[in-house]
Amino acid sequence: MKRATIVNKIIIEPTKGWACLKLQELWQYRELFYFLALRDIKVRYKQTFLGVSWALVNPLMQMFVWAFVFGVIAKFPSAGVPYVLITLSGTIAWNYFSEIVNGAGNAMLTNTNLISKIYFPRLIIPLSVVLRALLDFVIASVLLILMIFYFRVQLSLSIIFLPVFIILITLISSGVGLWAAAISVKFRDVGKILPYFIQTIFFLTPVAYLKAAIPQKYLWLYYLNPVAGAIDGLRWVFLGIPFSWNWLFLQVLISVIIFVSGLFYFKRLERTFADII
């Protein structure tokens, strides 16, 4: 008499909604997240004469160039604040945005060996860029604060709102970066297009000028740019330049939509990354 055999079947059902993001895996692989961020930081400054000091030199050079072009030659309004502080505050925020977008957009292609060999949540790769960019942002912000003291600009209690605008610019830059990272795996042209995209957004963002320089009829377009809102907010926090709170909710909403949609789009294409790469 034959014995009946019991076969255990494992059925894997696709998850839907937030469950498909498997965000808990990011915490389980947090050590890999820190490793990738630390590796990028070391590689970036390895065998350079100035090392981490480039996080200060880069914004300083940009500060002087934009202050000369927009403050001295073009004579843009400065709201009574030294123009170098306007350009430095804008440059710091802009470099944070552009570094995340550009870094995340190219991160998948620079980690092809890792992706094809072992399993881990691929979200870690583009998101680890944020930590690297945040380090440069913090270092440059210390420089900004020192210059604020040098020019005797009074800091106020508005400094407590600093995290709000850091989160805002992190959301929008990470969202755009996730879209770029996912698309770049299939279309390698993205890496070539990104610098032009970032350069275009630069001129549509108040990096080297204040919103007072924009004609009134175009201000509504200006306020649709979350990066512009974040830079305005940082200037209010550090320099006391008035900030338009009426548009903050819309800017946050746009940032959240781009970030969340970027997350889902990235996860949707994630299963194909190893095969395509």
Q: What is the pLDDT of residue 274?
A: 64
Q: Is the pLDDT of residue 28 over 50?
A: yes
For position 216, what pLDDT does the model report?
A: 87
- Give 10's pLDDT tier (boundaries 50, 70, 90): very low
CB-neighbour burial class of residue 179 (10 A; exposed 0-12, middle 13-18, buried 19+): buried
State mean pLDDT over 186-203.
88
pLDDT at position 7 is: 54
Q: Indicate if the pLDDT at residue 5 is higher than 60.
A: no
The structure's pTM equals 0.88
The region of weakest confidence among 42-46, 161-165, 203-207 is 42-46
pLDDT at 13: 46
Residue 14 has pLDDT above 50, yes or no: no
Quote the pLDDT of residue 191. 81
Average pLDDT over residues 3-7: 56
Measured CA to CA, the distance from residue 277 to residue 272 in angstroms comes to: 9
Would you state the pLDDT for residue 277? 65
Look-up: residue for tokens 């924009």?
Answer: 214
pLDDT tens-digit readout, 54-104: 778 888 999 999 999 998 998 898 888 999 999 999 999 999 999 999 999
* Least reliable range by pLDDT among 72-81, 140-149, 251-260: 72-81
State the amino acid at position 155 in one-letter form.
L
Q: How far is CA 71 from CA 60, 68, 77, 203, 241, in A?
A: 15, 5, 8, 16, 16
Contact status, residue 160 vs residue 236, Cβ threshold 8 Å: no
**Distance in angstroms (rounded) separating the CA atoms of residues 133 and 170:** 10
Q: Which tens digit of pLDDT belongs to each residue from 218-243?
A: 888 888 999 999 999 999 999 999 99
Token pair of 142 as six digits: 């210390």
Angle 129-133-134 from CA coordinates, rounded to 5°: 115
What mean pLDDT value characterizes the chain? Answer: 87
Give the pair of three-digit tokens for residue 222.
């200006």
